[in-house]
Chain A
């Protein structure tokens, strides 16, 4: 899933300051799971903004709240019909994709990001999420025992550990496991160390050119209209 972190209340207040009527818009998928922008966070933020305005003593802003099932898919955005006509801006608590999907749908409405979209990862334990995939477009996890060096090695190097690894940890952060130590040990357990002895050439950063687009081959085969 996509993992995000809510921006500070101060930054959010600065961003929305020019707008009188603001819709706080949550998203029901990834950011709900990582406690950054689901229905609950929308409600908390709504209260926090109202309280901050009351404390400041000079607020005139009005807030509305709503949470979509998903912000990043056009069909789910239809639910916003009738909810955005009277607002001056949308504060999206969706990931960066959600923010942009809404911006594309409503050309004349300012859309502001309420979270910092951070990475693709998984839940380690409640309240802790770890990055696991860099979406490089050229997956080699079969060769690295299911542990991604591009994501989990701070240098993203492909041919084994650097000299900075100590006690199984990374030179960049003593709390972070060295990806290559993990890979070595798991490959050893799987009796697949040959994979690590092989030379890996430099990455192809055009595996999918930026901005990346995937066109479903199935759709092409049946004569679909995807570009």
Chain B
């Protein structure tokens, strides 16, 4: 039996739904706890982001502990931006000992896009090396070749960018992540199902689960801002036009509608194995999206 509930679900045929929570900038965890409570029984797992967009926040590991304490299934996002191989291994040992058994392995955004631009970027490892490092730790030794007193066992995933404007090198890296042991992928935001279809034609040859990233947009302005400033996001023009067409104050409602529509299409077409909803600051609307997409009942 697996240590991870999420891993067991990956092995089933169910349409998977994960979402993410961004920890607070500060010690006030009330909003995060509210979101955890709201979402933990409605999704298969909750990612806790690791300083997304290189903005300093409450630790991902701490957020995962809160998800765990609340009875949810956390996915620990680990980036290589802020910690070297010693620090990441130390965090992973601690995570496993507290029952946090799912890890999303990311390289991490550039320091330059965040709010501590003068900090030292670490990047001692990249995402592929991080995946392999975890498999090494599971075999009972650390990266220095030293024996571990008690080895962890993780369910590990990674990200992939099906809408990248130059897909070939991304696919090549995707191959490396699969070879390194990634069991699931949560993609960067998908807005054009055509690119997801093309990607899945390629990815379906591998024995990995693909969860399409769904970003909840709240306005055309937010979409344009993300296009210009957030790494790995390309919102397509039809989506921007659709958001621009609604009256003021109704943007988020339209964003929910777009997200739900994408999820419904993905599920009906069986395009991939599930979705990963990124509400970026609007975590509270995730249940509305699930309801609108009619995927509520599948998660109980």
Chain A residues within 8 Å of B, Cβ to Cβ? 154-168, 170-173, 180-181, 184, 193, 196-197, 199-203, 205
Contact = CB atoms under 8 A, between A and B. Distances in A.
A168 B169 CA distance: 11
Interface size class of B (residues with CB under 8 A): 35 or more
Contacts of B165: 166-167
B166 A172 contact: no
B253 interface: no
B159 A154 contact: no
A197 B172 contact: yes
Contacts of B126: 155, 157-159
Interface of B: 81, 85, 107-113, 121, 123-129, 132-133, 143, 159-161, 164-166, 168-170, 172-173, 175-176, 179-180, 188, 231-232, 234
Q: Is the interface of A mostly helix, strand, loop or mixed?
A: loop
Contact of B188 (A163, A197, A200): A163
A173 B112 contact: yes
Contacts of A161: 169-170, 173
B28 to A, nearest CB: 30
B123 A165 contact: no
Nearest to A160: B173
A171 B176 contact: no
Nearest 3 A/B pairs, CB to CB: A164-B231, A163-B232, A160-B173
A162 B234 contact: no
A200 B132 CA distance: 11
A86 B239 CA distance: 73
Given A180-B169, A196-B172, A199-B179, A155 B231 contact: no
Nearest to B112: A172
A184 B168 contact: yes
Contact of A157 (B123, B143, B231, B234): B123
Contact of A160 (B121, B133, B176): B176
A154 B121 contact: yes
Nearest to B121: A155
A223 B164 CA distance: 58
A74 B246 CA distance: 73
Given A154-B121, A155-B123, A160-B169, A199 B113 contact: no
A155 B172 contact: no
Contacts of B125: 202
A193 B234 CA distance: 27
Given A155-B121, A163-B161, 20 more contacts: A155-B81, A155-B110, A157-B107, A157-B123, A159-B173, A160-B169, A160-B170, A163-B170, A163-B188, A163-B231, A165-B166, A166-B234, A171-B231, A172-B112, A173-B112, A196-B172, A197-B175, A199-B132, A199-B176, A201-B129
